[in-house]
């Protein structure tokens, strides 16, 4: 009679189990590595296996930018043709073209131009890469701005690139004030039930200060972010706590998903940049007008 016996284990099977246990241990270890070690691993992989893919994204972003430039140049030619043909409203045309020269012309050379790329992988939501780094004078917590205002801040700087977070990140904070300086507070992200519900809220204002809808909110200059960068506009009362505190919804100046090209503040950039954003530049990147409903 043949007896049932345990299945024969061999050295190959044992080796596989040992390897699997080792891999599981290594995987678990990655959770508890220091930030420096994690960044070294990430940098190594980004500079090796993932480099072609990151390069592809940068190339595509630049190609889109060039395509936009062609459209822009075409519109310039059209505008000039229109001006030459009519010889009228020359002053208005001139003003329009000056506006199109963009924020980069107004900012000091210490603000470096950068292309934004988004990894798009799980866990990297609200994060982006910029193609400027320490060698370009970029530091941690440097503000990342677009023509419409604050797009985010730099979180991690490497030699030639940097990782930033936009305002939808749960860690995002910015000291803020009203445009006229009549009230100060702290702007932070409030997560919604769904990602599309994420909103900005202005906290820490005194209860007796009633802030009118549409009032422009700028960075106050406390902390690492310079004073005067638009964050958004007041868009209603978010919460009242008893009779001592109110918070307000903000309609953001910048829609993170639409940002592809930005300026990043370099070392020694001005601490007051209010003049870079005159009051009429507050239409959002997403195309929403100042009076449009929030979202």
The structure tokens listed for 153 are 């801040």
- Binding part of the chain for other proteins, among 83-91, 102-110, 117-125, 141-149 by CB under 8 A, reads 117-125
Q: Which of 102, 119, 266, 286 binds other proteins (CB under 8 A)?
A: 119
Interface segment toward other proteins; rule CB under 8 A; list 51-59, 89-97, 175-183, 205-213: 51-59
Other CB atoms within 10 A of residue 94 CB:
11
Q: Is residue 67 near other proteins by the rule CB under 8 A?
A: no
Q: Please, what is the Cα angle at 189 between 185 and 195, to 5 degrees?
A: 160
Q: Which of residues 134-153 bind other proteins (CB under 8 A)?
A: none
| 195 is a site residue for other proteins (CB under 8 A) | yes
Distance CA 251, CA 236 (A): 9
Which of 1, 36, 101, 194 is close enough to bind other proteins by CB under 8 A?
A: 194
Q: Candidates 1, 2, 3, 50: give the one binding other proteins (CB under 8 A).
A: 50
Binding flag, residue 114, other proteins (CB under 8 A): no
Report the candidate in 121, 155, 120 with the shortest Cα–Cα distance to residue 138: 155
**Interface map 3-22 toward other proteins (x if CB under 8 A):** ----xxxxxxx-xxxxxx-x
CB 132 within 8 A of CB 161: yes
CA 104/CA 175 separation, integer angstroms:
24
- Selected from 111, 118, 152, 264, the binder of other proteins by CB under 8 A is 118
Residue 148 burial (CB count, 10 A)? 22
117 φ/ψ angles, rounded to the nearest 5 degrees: -125, 145
Task: Taking each helix axis as running N to C, give the angle between helix 51-86 and helix 90-100, from 0 to 180 degrees, rounded to the nearest 10.
Answer: 170
Q: Which of 3, 5, 32, 180 binds other proteins (CB under 8 A)?
A: 32
Least separation in angstroms between residue 30's CB and other proteins is: 4
Q: Applying CB under 8 A, which of residues 156, 227, 238, 266 lies at the interface with other proteins? A: 156
With respect to other proteins, which residue has the nearer C-beta, 7 or 105? 7
CB of 171 to other proteins, least distance (A): 7
Contacts with other proteins, 158-177, as mask; x by CB under 8 A: -----x------xx------
Phi and psi for 115 in degrees, rounded to 5?
-105, 135
Residue 156 tokens read as 């991690």
Which residue in 1, 5, 49, 101 binds other proteins (CB under 8 A)? Answer: 49
Cβ–Cβ under 8 Å, residues 282 and 290: yes
Who contacts 166 (Cβ-Cβ below 8 Å, separation ≥6)?
126, 127, 128, 144, 151, 152, 172, 254, 256, 259
Instruction: Catalog residues that contact other proteins under the rule CB under 8 A.
Output: 7-13, 15-20, 22-24, 26-28, 30-33, 38-39, 41-46, 49-50, 53-54, 56-57, 60, 117-125, 127, 155-156, 163, 170-171, 191, 193-195
């Amino acid at each position: 009679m043949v007896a049932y016996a345990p299945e024969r284990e061999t050295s190959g099977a044992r080796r596989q189990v040992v390897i699997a246990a080792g891999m599981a241990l290594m995987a678990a270890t990655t959770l508890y590595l220091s930030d420096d070690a994690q960044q070294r691993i990430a940098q190594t992989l980004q500079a090796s296996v993932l480099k072609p893919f990151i390069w592809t994204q940068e190339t595509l972003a630049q190609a889109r930018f060039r395509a936009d430039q062609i459209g822009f140049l075409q519109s310039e030619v059209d505008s000039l043709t229109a001006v030459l043909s009519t010889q009228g409203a020359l002053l208005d045309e001139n003003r329009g073209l000056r506006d199109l020269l963009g924020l980069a012309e107004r900012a000091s050379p210490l603000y470096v131009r950068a292309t934004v790329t988004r990894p798009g992988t799980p866990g990297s939501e609200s994060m982006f890469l910029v193609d400027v780094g320490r060698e370009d004078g970029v530091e941690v917590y440097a503000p990342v701005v677009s023509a419409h205002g604050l797009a985010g801040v730099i979180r991690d700087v490497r030699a030639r690139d940097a990782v930033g977070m936009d305002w939808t990140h749960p860690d995002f904070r910015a000291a803020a004030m009203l445009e006229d300086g009549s009230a100060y507070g702290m702007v932070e992200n409030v997560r919604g039930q769904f990602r599309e519900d994420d909103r900005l809220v202005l906290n820490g204002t005194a209860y007796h200060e009633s802030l009118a809808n549409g009032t422009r909110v700028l960075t106050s200059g406390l902390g690492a972010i310079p004073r005067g960068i638009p964050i958004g506009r007041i868009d209603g009362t978010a919460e009242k706590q008893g009779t001592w505190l109110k918070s307000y919804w903000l309609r953001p100046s910048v829609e993170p998903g639409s940002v592809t090209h930005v300026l990043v503040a370099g070392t020694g950039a001005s601490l007051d940049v209010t003049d870079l954003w005159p009051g009429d530049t507050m239409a959002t990147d997403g195309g929403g007008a100042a009076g449009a409903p929030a979202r």
